[in-house]
Amino acid sequence: MLALLAVGVLAACEPEPYVGHPTAPKMAVVGDSLTLDIEDAAIDRFTDDGWAVSVTAFGGYTLRDHQDTLQRAVGTGPEVLVVALGSNDIREFAIGHQDLGGYRDLVRATLATARDVPCVVWVGVNTTSGYWGPGGDHVVYGPWVNLMTSVEITASGRAPGRTFLADWASRSAGRHDYFVAPGDVHHTSRGSRAFLDLIADTVAQCPPRATLANLDAVVARADSVTVAGWAKDQSDPHRPTQVEIVVDGRLVATVPADGRRSDVARVFPHLGAHTGFSATVPAEPGLRRVCARAVDSTGARARPLGCATVTVPEPPTTSSTTTTTTIPEPSTTTTTTTTTVEAPTTTTSTSVPEPSTTSTTAEAGSPAISDDVSGEPGTQAP
């Protein structure tokens, strides 16, 4: 019995898989029974809007219960994180299991966890919701929960326009038909539809993706690594986007993405044809972690394009050795390797997966290295 309980707890920490096109930008939703009630409708709505959606919701869960889930959800690299929690925390207040100070700390911890997520939508609670306390009185904590959440969002230091409080209290004010009973947190079917509408309306306020980009491939040769792909900041299309090359956590080069890529231009005509980059940088022999990241026109924090772990061979003596490693799809964990031995040269190559459109926080696959190749390019966005 204990073993089954442990498995259940571990499973609860894992976010649900994303539903939608594998190249679509990701939206992770974490909530309680109110979110569980709209799970299917939310997936249908947001996938129709072009998102890949993960909805992880459990009845009775508090913000504290979902801390591990939130951390793992952020680790999947979503463009948008929706936090729809708080109603069950009110229950904890009413029965004396949690105080407002503890809730404030959890809000701070959640915002810190989500610091690198481009947009966070926090869904507020109904201000009339409450629970019967030990003394037999109906305690209402909704206004305090919303106020504290709003204050912590403001104090978190996140850039303006990147964090939004979806005001369910205002949207549901005076709408008794939204709730199964007066003072209850649970929604009628009409209330659930309005709840989902609020989330969708707030997500629509998130800033559009500015930089489109992709890491095509990483090639390791003796004493060096070549990194190639494309990038363009849509907010400044007339200026080449700068791309940083990082090896084992150390910035080793910054190059302009101004090479000709007619394949990109065919798919994204407004970006122009000069979006490609290719850079060869020195690297010591051995296992190396190689990443690329784009810097937008404002000089803001670089957005990851992807990473690959490659083996840089020792300098050749009588023969040359080349190892080619491509960037896998976000969901791909296996690599197909074909080795051909010919005297006096040994070559190990990894096939290039189909191109994709993904968040820049996730690894993505794309075409092989080329200054100007045919076919549809892979894409990424921050």
Instruction: Kindly report, residue by residue over 154-185, the tens digit of the pLDDT.
Output: 998 887 778 999 999 999 999 999 999 877 88
Neighbour tally for 299: CB within 10 Å: 8
pTM above 0.95, yes or no: no
- φ, ψ dihedrals at 375, nearest 5°: 95, 175
> What is the DSSP-derived secondary structure letter of residue 187?
B
User: Which of 158-167, 264-273, 308-317, 326-335 is the least confident region?
Assistant: 326-335
User: Which of 105-109, 147-151, 311-315, 338-342 is the least confident region?
Assistant: 338-342
Of 78, 157, 163, 87, whose CA–CA distance to 124 is shortest?
87
Average pLDDT value for residue range 311-316: 88
Mean pLDDT (the chain) is 78
- Confidence (pLDDT) at 358: 36
- Confidence (pLDDT) at 291: 87
DSSP, residue by residue, 81-100? EEEE--HHHHHHHHTTS--H
- φ, ψ dihedrals at 137, nearest 5°: -100, 150
Percent of the chain with pLDDT over 70: 73
Q: Which run of H or E residues covers position 218?
A: strand 211-221
- φ, ψ dihedrals at 181, nearest 5°: -160, 155
User: Which of 31-35, 64-68, 213-217 is the least confident region?
Assistant: 213-217
- Confidence (pLDDT) at 298: 61
CA-atom Rg of the chain in angstroms: 24
- Confidence (pLDDT) at 4: 40
- Confidence (pLDDT) at 366: 40
- Confidence (pLDDT) at 8: 43
Residues 375, 378, 380: CA angle, nearest 5 degrees: 155
Banded pLDDT at 359 (limits 50, 70, 90): very low
The answer, yes or no, to whether residue 368 has pLDDT greater than 60, is no
Average pLDDT value for residue range 285-294: 90
Q: What is the pLDDT of residues 69-85, one digit of tens each?
A: 999 999 998 989 999 99
CA-CA-CA-CA torsion sign (14, 17, 18, 22):
positive
- Confidence (pLDDT) at 208: 65
The answer, yes or no, to whether residue 282 has pLDDT greater than 70, is yes
Pick 139 or 271 by higher pLDDT.
271
Q: What is the pLDDT of residues 24-59, one digit of tens each?
A: 778 999 999 999 999 999 999 998 877 889 999 999
The answer, yes or no, to whether residue 232 has pLDDT greater than 60, is yes
Q: Residues 53, 43: contact at Cβ < 8 Å? A: yes
- Confidence (pLDDT) at 162: 87
